[in-house]
Chains A and B, each alone.
Chain A
C-alpha cells in the first residue's frame, strides 16, 4: 500500500539507452522469428494493445485528469500529458480530418528510434507500431469504440 501512496510523485529514472536497445532487440528478434514485415507489425500492435489496456489504469491513477468532453480534448491529453509522462516527449498534433475524428501525432525525437536505421529489406516495417497498439488499447478501455491507430 505504501507503493500506491508514492505513485503520484515518484517517477523512476532509468537509462534511455537501455530502453532503446531493449526495444530494438525486441523488434529485431521478432523480425528474425516472423521474417515477414506484416506479421511483425501485427505482433507489435498486439503487444502494444496488451500494454495499453494496463497502462491506462496507471495513467489515470497518476495523472488525475477528468473525463474529456470531446475528441479534441482527448488528443490534447494524449499528446501533452500521457506522452510526456511515459516517454518524456510532446508530439505535435496535426492533420485533423474535416470530420474532426482523425488526427496525426508527429513525434520529433522518438526515444524508441534513437540510433536506428531501417535496412532496405525491411522497408514496410512499422518500427514504432508498439505505440499504436498502446494507444489503441488504452482508448478502448475508456470506451472509445471506434478507435483505430495508424502510422
Chain B
C-alpha cells in the first residue's frame, strides 16, 4: 500500500504525482524530489558496461523514520517513485516489484493513447484508477484521494539538481 506515487519524466519534471491526503503533502513532493538524486546515482553506478543486465527495478532508495522510498526506471529514462509507510507490515520485495510492473503497464497504456502527447501531465482516468487501488485507503469513503497538480516544480529547478539546503 503506497502512500505516494510519482511518475517523473526523462528531464526530471513530474508527469504525475499523487499522495494520500494528509496535513503536509508537500513533504512527499520533497521526498520524491530528493530521491531523484539517488535514482541518478544508481543509474550511473550500474553504468554503461552492463546495459542488458541493467535492472529496471532499483529497489529501496532510502529509508526515513516513517517512510521508505522505492524507485524504478524504464529504458526510456522515465522514473517511477513510490513512498510506502514504514509502519506497514514490511512489504515484501516482490510485492513492490509487482506494483511497479502494474504502474509500468498502465504507463504504456497511457502512452498508446493517441490523444496523449509525451511530456504532458498524465490525466488518464484508467491510470488514476490503478493508482487509487495501490494507495492506502486511509479513511474509508470519506476522503477522496487528491491528485496534485505538479505546479510546484519547474524544469529549471530540477536542472539545478544536486544538494538541497537541509
B-binding residues in A (CB < 8 A): 17, 20-21, 23-25, 27-28, 114-119, 122
Contacts and interface: CB of A to CB of B under 8 A. Distances in A.
Nearest to A27: B114
A20 B123 CA distance: 21
B113 interface: yes
A119 B122 CA distance: 11
A43 B112 CA distance: 23
A119 B115 contact: yes
Nearest to B109: A115
B112 A117 contact: no
Contacts of A24: 112-115
B114 A28 contact: yes
A70 to B, nearest CB: 39
B112 A118 contact: no
Contacts of A117: 113, 115, 124-126
Contacts of A114: 112
Given A25-B114, A28-B115, A117-B113, 14 more contacts: A17-B112, A20-B112, A21-B112, A21-B114, A23-B114, A24-B114, A114-B112, A115-B110, A115-B112, A116-B114, A117-B115, A117-B124, A117-B125, A118-B115
Contacts of B112: 17, 20-21, 24, 114-115
Interface of B: 109-110, 112-115, 123-126
A122 B113 CA distance: 14
A112 B110 CA distance: 15
A118 B126 CA distance: 12
User: Which of A115, A118, A122 gathers most chain B CB within 10 Å?
Assistant: A115
Contacts of A23: 114
A19 B124 CA distance: 22
Nearest to A116: B113
A47 B100 CA distance: 41
A23 B109 CA distance: 16
Nearest to A114: B112
B99 to A, nearest CB: 21
Contacts of A118: 115
Contacts of B115: 24, 28, 116-119, 122
A20 B112 CA distance: 9
Contacts of A21: 112, 114
A131 to B, nearest CB: 16
Contacts of B126: 117
Contacts of A119: 115, 123
B124 to A, nearest CB: 6
A132 to B, nearest CB: 19
Contacts of A25: 114
